[in-house]
Amino acid sequence: MNGVPAGWEVVIGLETHAQLSTASKIFSGSKTTYGAAPNTQANAVDMALPGTLPVLNRGAVEAAIQFGLAIGATIAPRSVFARKNYFYPDLPKGYQISQFELPVVVGGTIPIVVDGVEKPVQLTRAHLEEDAGKSLHEGLDSMGVSGIDLNRAGTPLLEIVTEPVMRSAQEAVAYAKALHGIVTWIGICDGNMQEGSFRCDANVSVRRAGDPKLGTRCEIKNVNSFRFLERAIEFEIRRQIELIEDGGRVVQETRLYDADRDETRSMRSKEDSMDYRYFPDPDLLPLVISAAQIEAIKATMPELQKATETRFMHEYKLSEYDAHVLTQSKALANYFEACVNEGGQPKRVANWIAGPLSALLNGDDELSIKNIHVAPAQLAQILIAREKELISQKGALELFEVIFLAEDESARNSSVEALIKERGLEQISDSAAIEKIIDEVLAANQKSVGEFKSGKEKAFQSLVGQVMKASTGKANPAQVNALLTAKLS
């Protein structure tokens, strides 16, 4: 079962840091844009200059409330920011402002499905905290110095902690993906794992099946993709089981995953673990959230993923599969609905998104539904033209690609009607016109006609091809087939 050796049980809990998509930092007015030149997005507060004080970003609190509502958690009416004290050069204040005893979100559940079986993953808590800066060593070694970039310092994070309820790497990944889906769906996190906007740490332990006592756990850090998360946990499970089977003991420690070697290795042991001397931050008042505030945020929440999926099935008569595919992201679902609102037939739109659109998106990682150039109205017009047999399937694909790949604004903004004319993609559905072409082709290909009449079925396809070629691909293929059959019979 799920790659766990018989006789063993695996226990996994996940801690996820979701970077909140607020315009400014959690305790200062600096911007949070990724990738800016070092220290250009760090102000006096972020640099912890003497005399500076933190002021809580309302947007970060609202994001935490939205998350709590999305997973059916309790929003704490009163939560407290605490200082986690430790020295590190990229931690400017010498402490991180986090939440300790009283977090803002308590409990909640995220359902996952593995091998067709649904299972609820219970959450312990989610709390707000600030990110640290970055220490830079690459390229500076030769100068004998390290660099500190404080752009990231103070970026708002929601740390989301599960109960130790997952039993395999597959379950852990299913949970991480489901969580990723939720935070991106409600728009509180961009979910970019490469840029570190969504980071998972896994607490992994193993025990003999039936043993009520939990094994000693190791925390795995530095996992920046779902695939690596799965591989890191699988490696760790194997390592721990082999260790115990060889008569050894698992030591509680933090381990880093090395993707190049596909292994985890020790970073620091429990013995080195620091006493963070947590205490309530006296610079910040307790965070008090009223029921009215929660209700107000509830009213602005988007429809959640599951609800949208169900609605798509009922409202647009889509299959569960189609509805599921279309609700893989909020942006995708929005695109689908916009196309339908522009007159696209739902099933055709769904098929187009699952087919040609996905094929084009998969070709390039940089593209996403958020920035594709084909406006919903354009796709709807293409599908309507196709439905009316004004264009062929090939013509529809060509149109879509032309707009999709257009470099300049004018091409992107052209009307579909104009593009059909401009590119000569009108389909010929006039029987008389098609008959005329057929007659010409038959006259010029008497040899093939003879072969067909003598029983060679292949000759028919050759004649269809000749007709399509003579019409420069514009003739309606169904009509060509029907008319040709009639002529030859």
Partner 1 sequence: MTFAAASLKQLRAALDSRQVSAVELAEHFLNRAEAAHDLNTFLHIDRGLTLAEARAADARIASGDVGALTGIPVAHKDIFVTQGWRSTAGSNMLANYVSPFDATVVEKLKSAGMVSLGKLNCDEFAMGSSNENSAFGPVKNPWDKSKIPGGSSGGSAAAVAAGLTPASTGTDTGGSLRQPASMCGITAIKPTYGTVSRYGMIAFASSLDQGGPMAKSAEDCAILLDAMAGFDERDSTSVDVSTTSRKGLVTAPNLAAFVEQHARNASTGGVFQGIRIGIPKEFFAAGLSADVAQHVNLAIAEFEKQGAAIIELSLPRTQLSIPAYYVIAPAEASSNLSRFDGVRYGHRAVEYNNLGDMIAKSRSEGFGAEVKRRILVGAYVLSHGYYDAYYLQAQKVRRLIALDFQDAFTKCDFIMGPVAPTTAWKMGEKSADPVAMYLEDIFTLGVSLAGLPGMSVPCGFAGDMPVGLQIIGNYFDEGRMLATAHQYQCITDWHKRTPEVSP
Note the residues at the interface with partner 1 (CB under 8 A): 44, 47-56, 83, 85, 87, 89, 92-95, 146, 148, 275, 277-279, 282-285
**To which residue do tokens 């935490």 refer?**
64
Please give the Cα distance from 384 to 407 (Å, whole number): 25
Residue with smaller CB distance to partner 1, 82 or 186: 82
Alpha-carbon Rg for the chain, nearest whole angstrom, is: 30
Which residues have C-beta within 8 Å of that of residue 269, sequence separation ≥ 6? 251, 252, 253, 254
Give the sign of the dihedral formed by CA 83, CA 87, CA 93, CA 96. Answer: negative
Question: Which H/E stretch holds residue 263?
Answer: strand 263-269
What's the closest the beta carbon of residue 156 comes to partner 1, in angstroms? Answer: 16
Residue with smaller CB distance to partner 1, 272 or 366: 272
What's the closest the beta carbon of residue 57 comes to partner 1, in angstroms? Answer: 12
Question: Which H/E stretch holds residue 134?
Answer: strand 134-136
- CB-CB contact of 258 with 265 (8 Å): yes
What's the closest the beta carbon of residue 284 comes to partner 1, in angstroms? Answer: 5
Please give the Cα distance from 59 to 56 (Å, whole number): 9
Residue with smaller CB distance to partner 1, 273 or 461: 273
Residue with smaller CB distance to partner 1, 100 or 316: 100
Query: In 360-383, which positions are buried (b, 16+ CB within 10 angstroms) versus exposed (e)?
Result: bbeeeeeeebeebebbbbbbbbbb
Residue with smaller CB distance to partner 1, 146 or 319: 146
What's the closest the beta carbon of residue 61 comes to partner 1, in angstroms? Answer: 13
Which residues have C-beta within 8 Å of that of residue 435, sequence separation ≥ 6? 483, 487
What's the closest the beta carbon of residue 93 comes to partner 1, in angstroms? Answer: 5
- CB-CB contact of 145 with 42 (8 Å): no
What's the closest the beta carbon of residue 273 comes to partner 1, in angstroms? Answer: 10
Residue with smaller CB distance to partner 1, 23 or 478: 23
- CB-CB contact of 417 with 466 (8 Å): no
- CB-CB contact of 162 with 168 (8 Å): no
Angle at 184 between CA 181 and CA 186, to 5 degrees: 105
What's the closest the beta carbon of residue 49 comes to partner 1, in angstroms? Answer: 7
Residue with smaller CB distance to partner 1, 116 or 282: 282
Neighbours of 87 (CB within 10 A): 8
**To which residue do tokens 């050894």 refer?**
248
Which is nearest to 56 in space by CA: 29, 96, 18?
29
Most distant CA pair in the chain, distance: 99
What's the closest the beta carbon of residue 323 comes to partner 1, in angstroms? Answer: 46
Residue with smaller CB distance to partner 1, 226 or 279: 279
Residue with smaller CB distance to partner 1, 93 or 125: 93
What's the closest the beta carbon of residue 128 comes to partner 1, in angstroms? Answer: 14
